[in-house]
Structure 1
Amino acid sequence: MNDILDKTARETVAAFAAKQLSPVEYMQALIARVEASEPQVGALYAFRPEQALQDAKAAESRYMAGAPMGRLDGMPVSVKELIATKGDPIPQGTAAVDLVPATADAPTAARLREDGAIIFAKTTCPDYGMLSSGLSTFHQLSRNPWKLSENPGGSSAGAASAGAAGYGPLHIGTDIGGSVRLPAGWTGLFGFKPSLGRMPIDPYYTGRCAGPMTPTVDDAAFVMPTVTRPDWRDATSLPYEALDWDVPAANVKGMKIGLMLDAGCGLDADPEVKAAVQRAADTFAAQGAEIIPVAPVLTREMLDGLDVGWRARFWGIMQGLSPEKRDKILPYILEWASSAVNYSPIEVARGFDQTFGMRRTCAAVFQQVDVILSPVNPSVSYPADWASPTNDPMRPFEHIAFTMPWNMGEQPAASINCGFSASGMPIGLQIVAPRFADLTVIAVAKAYEDWRGPINNWPRYDA
């Protein structure tokens, strides 16, 4: 019965519409898989199987009457805890936050519900969403389904764990420095960060996006028409375009593709990571693309400046807490943020200004090439109970040097699996295109996915 969960989202909705598969049958299979897997995987927050079944029964009735609510009617979807859902608290991954129910759905949740999707659960994140880890003082520890001793990454940790463990094909995360792409890379998923403003988000912040994390490129493309519809609450939104996300795989012959194997600072990519990305680039070359080595877009000054700005911002938030609440924050995060007490206002302003330097270098590199390939994560894996790949609060962002610049530059970027390490862990290839060229990322990713072939050995814990 659980084989139906391995269908793509498009195939599943088509089967609902053709009355070949019931949303109730699908939801029952999903609930069974979740209940069998969660003790090991630890991906979910606010999982309500009874409500999900009621919603599935309502969708089944609509299909039987030939009147589905929308293009995703009856399709289970998870959303990251940080994405507000009406009536649910938003703990932000930390025990320090009061549990106040959200008064409205955030844009992503609202659009999904409008099209009939069933938000069957939310997914975990670390304290304040500021770690690339499944470690949290509020949520259970999320683990990497490929190897439970290892970390799924983050901050969209639970979304990555759920996607890799087969909790259906559609999961939505958020990304301000790589928080969709990093965990997607470590768990073998396709993770897509659209151009800033393409997918409305609330609350918004410099570089903050939401995006799908899915087993296939087509799953992500299938959900994008829904989640990109406009919402007035996002003052950073792009003018709405009804894009055709069902683009064919790109013909890369003659395309100039940049290859960036050096991030400019931070952790050096492991040899296995570099080798996998180089093999992917060789595949593009074999298909007629011109591979052009490109220099890094990030400097040490830029990365450290952003660190200063973010520390100061979060220390400001934490100063508003009582000492008792502050003591509940993950010690790693508290140590990281509290160091900002010694920064001058000028240092903080200069640090934040580095985002504009990144914006310039990210735009400049696309004067040479059409698309850029790079690693997503510099490391193959790290322990599940570590707060970050360095596990050092004084070196917190050494692993985001390949991903974070594109948040500040606002370019669309994706992670797609390009192989496995000798230890069996997934390795992610990053595909980046110029601002607003979201469909180029999708088309190039589809091409690479076709050449690579499907992943047929996803980890499962309900056998």
Structure 2
Amino acid sequence: MNTETVRAAYRDGSLTPVDVLEQTLTRIDEVNDSINAIVFRDDVNALAQAEASTARWKAGTPLSVLDGVPVSVKDSVRAAGMPWRHGTLPNRGLDADTVDSPPAARLREAGAVIFGKCAMPDFGMLGAGVSSLYGIVRNPWNLAMNTGGSSAGAGASLAAGIGSMSVGSDIAGSVRLPAAHCGLAALKPTQGRIPHLAPSTTRSAGPLARSVREVAELFSVISGPDARDLLSLPGGPLTPEPVDTSDRTVAGLRIGLILDMGYGYGVHPEVEAVVRAAARTLQDAGAVVTEVPPVFSADPWPALDRLFQVRALAEWLPYDGQGRSEVLPQITDWCAAASGLAAADHENDLNAVAASAAHFASVVDSFDLIVSPVIPGLGFAAGMVGLSQDSPLEHCSFTCWFNQSGQPAATVGFGMSHGVPVGVQVGGPRFADLRVLAVAEWLESRRPAPFDWPTVPRDLPALTPDLYAAGYGDATVTANPATANPATANPATAGDTQRS
């Protein structure tokens, strides 16, 4: 049920928040062994939250549109009474948090029922659902396929019908990538619009749900400022209004169509066809669509990749020898290259990335909105850490620069191919969050066919590597086959759902 239906049932008394929580926990029991998405259940506290919400609805005094709605949070979002593990095995013994991070605090204040935590990869440094602690998260559309990451468990759980919404986090595409792999909607907001800890110029919390309208509702609750995030933007929470699905919503908008970043993996023709269909839908309604030349004339990725390596290395180094050996080997091997960098090298990389981000921002700012792919192909096998084992975030080329520029970008599912969803990214200038959401919701209303959600996870053969990206499997990329990284380390942790 969508949240509008749930609220109607709460109002007329045909359902209570306790009923919906019980349904949610039952759903976890039914499907989580297959998808390995929910890694901590807070049954006792969730029941207390649901009972309090039930009393408010009976009294006619709900706190918000999310009162009594079941919501999960990513492992990286600190929530009182729940453990923070950051997806990595060496953190398995850490105590539960005692304080809510800003997104969790806003959810509790709104009366939402936080029922559990979702799986993520080590340090959040993969655009894939593979973790040394949690094992492999599987896509319910096709259990042999990846969910994307790093908000991997959020993507899988929502696609399979667990809960209504989830809060993830995004540093290179980590809410938008799982949304694309799993057919969901998601938003990486203007940097600072959703406060998060630790404060960051590039990493943001972000909402995921099955529909853009539900993403907008979650955004309206968690987008207010929080003094603990020194970079959070002033002003109250933003409340996106329901979208007029007529042509008036998009008529006259100047929209840039990006199909080539100038580097990285090429867009698969079947993904390109879906993105072009979205652009034509906008153009037919009166938008002015212009195809953008390749965004970068020189490859900006190596400098940004090194910044990510340094970030991962900084989290890896404090572990003792045993802890270091327990981190996902592909993360360890990838970030090891940063150990030889000098401080001056890092400063040069920061400056290079800043220049690339400014260039990207100027391209986006020349339009009202940007439409592009989210991922270059139709996904990849469940055990892979990305299209490249040596540079596991490299396939994030269409998403990562919105983080560096601080500009908002949303994902909306717009098509299907070979049994998996295909997402479209809608981005825009800074502070254009409401416009981005409105056009994403408008596109969703014009989706060529409704999604047949995988309420029973589908055990199907994996897609062949030729569908992963244009040219994948050619001589230039055969070093990274589809069988890379079976992620068999610590299999006993996969699907280990804890109950408080």
SS at the partner of 1:87? coil
SS at the partner of 1:399? helix
Q: Does 1:131 align with 2:129?
A: no
Task: Pick closer, same or farther for the CA change 1:242–1:382 going to 2, 3 Å.
Answer: closer
Task: Pick closer, same or farther for the CA change 1:69–1:259 going to 2, 3 Å.
Answer: closer
SS at the partner of 1:171? strand
**Take 2:107 and 2:406, find their aligned partners in 1: how far apart are those partners?**
24
The one of 125, 133, 156 aligned to 1:161: 156
Task: Pick closer, same or farther for the CA change 1:375–1:456 going to 2, 3 Å.
Answer: closer
- Name the structure 2 match of 1:416: 412
- Name the structure 2 match of 1:207: 202
The one of 379, 400, 416 aligned to 1:404: 400
Q: Does 1:326 align with 2:324?
A: yes
- Name the structure 1 match of 2:486: none
Task: Tell whether the 8 Å contact from 1:302 to 1:357 is kept in structure 2 after alignment.
Answer: no
Correspondence 1:301-320 to 2 at 5 A: 301-320=299-318
Task: Tell whether the 8 Å contact from 2:263 to 2:299 is kept in structure 1 after alignment.
Answer: no
The one of 189, 198, 201 aligned to 2:193: 198
Aligned residues: 454
Q: Does 1:39 align with 2:37?
A: no
Task: Tell whether the 8 Å contact from 1:297 to 1:358 is kept in structure 2 after alignment.
Answer: no
Q: Does 1:8 align with 2:2?
A: yes
Q: Which moved more, 1:129-138 or 1:363-372?
A: 363-372
Q: Which moved more, 1:324-333 or 1:19-28?
A: 19-28
SS at the partner of 2:326? coil
Task: Tell whether the 8 Å contact from 2:49 to 2:111 is kept in structure 1 after alignment.
Answer: no
**Take 1:244 and 1:58, find their aligned partners in 2: how far apart are those partners?**
25
Which residues of structure 1 form unaligned runs of 5+? 1-6
Q: Which moved more, 1:85-94 or 1:291-300?
A: 291-300
Task: Tell whether the 8 Å contact from 1:213 to 1:220 is kept in structure 2 after alignment.
Answer: yes
> Which AA in structure 1 matches 2:333?
E
Task: Tell whether the 8 Å contact from 1:264 to 1:401 is kept in structure 2 after alignment.
Answer: no
- CA positional deviation for 1:46: 1.2
Task: Tell whether the 8 Å contact from 1:379 to 1:389 is kept in structure 2 after alignment.
Answer: no
| Deviation by residue 1:285-314 (Cα, 9 ceiling, x = unmatched) | 111111101134446542110111221232
The one of 420, 427, 438 aligned to 1:432: 427
The one of 361, 364, 372 aligned to 1:363: 361
- CA positional deviation for 1:386: 1.1
Task: Tell whether the 8 Å contact from 1:259 to 1:293 is kept in structure 2 after alignment.
Answer: yes
**Take 1:454 and 1:29, find their aligned partners in 2: how far apart are those partners?**
28
**Take 1:247 and 1:434, find their aligned partners in 2: how far apart are those partners?**
21
> Which AA in structure 2 matches 1:416?
V
Task: Pick closer, same or farther for the CA change 1:302–1:456 going to 2, 3 Å.
Answer: closer
Task: Tell whether the 8 Å contact from 1:9 to 1:222 is kept in structure 2 after alignment.
Answer: no
**Take 2:396 and 2:30, find their aligned partners in 1: how far apart are those partners?**
33
- CA positional deviation for 1:90: 1.1
- CA positional deviation for 1:261: 0.5
Task: Pick closer, same or farther for the CA change 1:430–1:30 going to 2, 3 Å.
Answer: same
**Take 1:294 and 1:328, find their aligned partners in 2: how far apart are those partners?**
44
Q: Does 1:149 align with 2:139?
A: no
- CA positional deviation for 1:247: 4.4
**Take 1:299 and 1:372, find their aligned partners in 2: how far apart are those partners?**
19
Task: Pick closer, same or farther for the CA change 1:104–1:299 going to 2, 3 Å.
Answer: farther
- Name the structure 2 match of 1:265: 263
- The higher relative CO (CA closer than 8 Å, separation ≥ 6) is in 2
> Which AA in structure 2 matches 1:114?
E
SS at the partner of 1:85? coil
| Deviation by residue 1:138-178 (Cα, 9 ceiling, x = unmatched) | 11421001000100000000000011001122111100100
Correspondence 1:139-288 to 2 at 5 A: 139-249=134-244, 251-288=249-286
Q: Which moved more, 1:175-184 or 1:341-350?
A: 341-350
| Deviation by residue 1:93-148 (Cα, 9 ceiling, x = unmatched) | 00122513223100000000011111001100000110111111111421001000
**Take 1:456 and 1:295, find their aligned partners in 2: how far apart are those partners?**
32
**Take 1:241 and 1:363, find their aligned partners in 2: how far apart are those partners?**
25
TM-score (norm 2): 0.87
Task: Tell whether the 8 Å contact from 1:87 to 1:101 is kept in structure 2 after alignment.
Answer: yes
- CA positional deviation for 1:50: 4.2
| Deviation by residue 1:203-260 (Cα, 9 ceiling, x = unmatched) | 1223111111111111011122210122111111111234331142462122211011
| Deviation by residue 1:267-296 (Cα, 9 ceiling, x = unmatched) | 111111111111111111111111101134
C-alpha RMSD of matched pairs (Å): 1.8
Q: Identity percentage over the alignment? A: 37
**Take 2:126 and 2:241, find their aligned partners in 1: how far apart are those partners?**
33
Task: Pick closer, same or farther for the CA change 1:313–1:48 going to 2, 3 Å.
Answer: closer
TM-score (norm 1): 0.94
SS at the partner of 1:373? strand
Moved over 6 A (4+): none
- CA positional deviation for 1:33: 1.3
Task: Tell whether the 8 Å contact from 2:201 to 2:406 is kept in structure 1 after alignment.
Answer: no
**Take 1:179 and 1:367, find their aligned partners in 2: how far apart are those partners?**
23
Q: Does 1:83 align with 2:81?
A: no
> Which AA in structure 2 matches 1:30?
T
- CA positional deviation for 1:355: 2.9
- CA positional deviation for 1:190: 0.4
**Take 2:41 and 2:347, find their aligned partners in 1: how far apart are those partners?**
41
- CA positional deviation for 1:32: 1.5
- Name the structure 1 match of 2:481: none
- CA positional deviation for 1:431: 0.3
SS at the partner of 2:41? coil
**Take 1:14 and 1:112, find their aligned partners in 2: how far apart are those partners?**
20
> Which AA in structure 1 matches 2:190?
S
**Take 1:404 and 1:213, find their aligned partners in 2: how far apart are those partners?**
18
| Deviation by residue 1:364-407 (Cα, 9 ceiling, x = unmatched) | 114532111000001212111111122x12x2232111000011
- Name the structure 1 match of 2:461: none
